[in-house]
Amino acid sequence: MNLWQEARLVAAKDLRIEARSRVTLYQVLPFGAIVLLLFAFALDPDRGVLARVAPGLFWVAVLLAALLAVSRSFAIETANSARDGLRLSGLDGSAIFLGKAGAVALELLALEVVLGTGVALLYDVDFHSPGLLVLAALAATAAVAATGTLYGVLAAGLRVRETLVPVLLLPVVAPVMLGATRACEAAVAGVPSDGWPWVALLALVAALYTGVGMLAFGTLLEET
Amino acid sequence: MNEGLLGRRVGIALGWAALASLVVLGVLGLVVAPPDAVQGDAQRLMYLHVPAAWLAYLAFGVTAVASALYLWPRTRSVVWDRVAGASAELGVLFTGLTLVLGSLWGRPVWGIWWAWDARLVTTAVLFFLYVGYLALRRIPGAGREKRCAIAALIAFVDVPVVHFSVEWWRTLHQQGTVFNEELSAQIHGKMALALWWSVLAFTLLYVYLLDRRYRLEALDADRDERELERAIAERLAEAEPARVEAGARS
């Protein structure tokens, strides 16, 4: 098997577990939705504040949900010594990384579609440049999934992982949050030229952390 | 075992040198250097703020290099893990100091405690990046050194990303005064002297503190080892009479 086939195998395994356990559907997705609702309580919806800051709120909600998705991605490896199984499977470390990050990314993309619809309806936002929006979301999701999976495995064997992952991950993805928000603001405002540099930055970050993850994941899985 | 990074005498001499240079810095910064034409005495905070920021970057750089040296199989040694940890702690301390001093300076000069300026935001993110790293260091377990070394490198890789993204976002902070392209100090001679002296004094302080922190970490590891040995010896001693008794009965 080559790298992609191995990665697809791992991703399919994770997604199959999600499809059967429905944790993402019944817990992570409602969590993201309730965060959107809470923002409406915090920022008075009548004054048009929500529509102005909608891209930022959307990405904060996605990031918070991503924390849950990452912790879930490694929680499924703790039961029945699945982690040892993964080590013994003979799959390449980089392939496992790509597979797990890919599964997290697909879950997040599904979440973004639902939350994005929610934002458009609840916060009364129009999208002018769908192409920019989609590419920004893809790049940002890849970056978040790659960094999340990297820190997920770093903290996977530790008892304090639930509290450790957010404190490690959030500062690292702060630039992703910034870039994604600016790109989406440009798309919403209808000035896509402002957004493209940010998409380039997001793609660069995604490539950077995918590279780091592919290099480091095997070691982290084996030796920690 | 109880050796620091430097010899004991060198460490002590360095401590005195750091103290003396800080006293000289006090004189240079408060008496010799003239007050700023625009900012008045508030500008004297520069002689603490700039070297603190320099030290923060130096410390995080040392953490990254030491972590890389730990990960490289040929140079792997617990020494590098300890250097990385000690340096990161100092880095967080001096980043925090930079933020606080900058805030105190910003209040009289900009009229605000905090501005959403590129360099301020970058420094704040940097602070949290390494606070996370220190949190990770505190967690024991198999492969701790390697885990921490990888985390340190990820954090280090993130620094330019944070810097450029935030730079694009907004810029209000004055441009670098000393480390600009021409590398010529564009400030009054006595001020430049005080500023360069402050960098020297803080660097001495950094090396001294790094050595002390390293020594402490080595002592900590040593104590843990001894406690373990003593506990094993105690259990063995407890077991010994019981075994003799059992032997006599049979």
B179/A32: higher pLDDT: A32
Domain ranges of chain A: 3-223
In a domain, B246, yes or no: no
**Residue located via tokens 């006293």:** B23
Q: What is the mean pLDDT of chain B?
A: 84
pLDDT given for residue B239 in this prediction: 81
Q: The CATH number of the domain where B76 resides is what?
A: 1.20.120
Tokens of B206: 């950094």
State which residue of chain A sits closest to B167, comparing Cα positions.
Answer: A175
pLDDT at B65: 95
Query: A170: which 2 tokens?
Result: 């959030």
Domain count, chain B: 1
Q: Tell me: the pLDDT tens digits for B71-122?
A: 998 888 889 999 999 999 999 999 999 999 888 888 887 888 887 777 788 8
Is B135 touching A (CB cutoff 8 A)? yes
**Tokens 């994770």 label which residue?**
A14
Distance of CA B233 to the CA centre of its chain: 39
Residue at B213 is within a domain: yes
Tokens representing residue B86 in the block: 């000690």
Interchain proximity B154–A158, CB inside 8 Å: no
Handedness of CA B7, B10, B15, B16 (dihedral sign): positive
Which residue in B129, B139, B144 is closest to A171 by CB distance? B129
Compute the count of residue pairs across chains A and B with CB atoms less than 8 Å apart.
Answer: 77
B143 closest CB neighbour out of A182, A204, A223: A223
Name the residue range of residue B73's domain.
8-220
SS3 B40: strand
For chain B, positions 199-238, list CB contacts with chain A under 8 A: none
Quote the distance between the C-alpha of residue A125 and its chain's center. Answer: 22
* Angstrom distance (rounded) from CA B177 to CA B51: 12
Residue B1 lies inside a defined structural domain of this protein: no
Nearest to A107 by CA among A72, A134, A135: A72
Q: Residue B121 has what pLDDT? A: 83
For B15-60, how does the pLDDT look when each residue is reduced to its tens digit (9 = 90+)? 999 999 999 988 888 888 777 767 777 788 888 888 998 899 999 9
A167/B166 Cβ within 8 A: no
Facing A220 at nearest CB: one of B128, B147, B165: B147
Judge whether A83 and A222 are in contact, CB under 8 Å: no
- Distance of residue A187 Cα from the nearest chain B Cα, in angstroms: 17
- Start-to-end CA distance of chain B, whole Å, equals 46
CB B51 within 8 A of CB B198: yes
- Give residue B182's pLDDT: 47
Q: What is the pLDDT of residue B120?
A: 83
- Do residue A197 and residue B168 have CB atoms under 8 angstroms apart? yes
Tell me the pLDDT band of B174, cut-offs 50, 70 and 90. Answer: low
Distance CA B95, CA A121 (A): 43
B129 touches chain A (CB under 8 A): yes
Kindly state the tokens that stand for A207.
Answer: 């490539």
Q: Which residues pair with A164 in a beta bridge?
A: none
Instruction: Return d(Cα B85, Cα B70) in angstroms, integer.
Output: 12
Burial class (CB within 10 angstroms; exposed 0-12, middle 13-18, buried 19+) of B166: buried
Nearest-CA distance B67 → chain A (Å):
13
Range with the poorest average pLDDT among A5-14, A65-74, B6-15: B6-15
Contact B195, B50 (CB under 8 A): yes
| DSSP classification of residue B138 | T
Is residue B235 in some structural domain? Answer: no
Q: Is B72 an interface residue toward A (CB < 8 Å)?
A: no
CB–CB contact A223 B142 (8 Å): yes
- The verdict on residue B35 lying in a domain is yes
Q: Strand runs (DSSP E) across chain A, as ranges?
A: none
* CA–CA distances in Å: residue B107 to residues B45, B53, B103, B115, B173: 12, 18, 6, 10, 14
Note the ipTM here.
Answer: 0.85
Higher-scoring residue by pLDDT: A65, A130: A65
Angle at B142 between CA B207 and CA A215, to 5 degrees: 80
C-alpha pair distances (Å), B23 with each of A53, A218, B15, B18, B19:
50, 51, 12, 9, 6
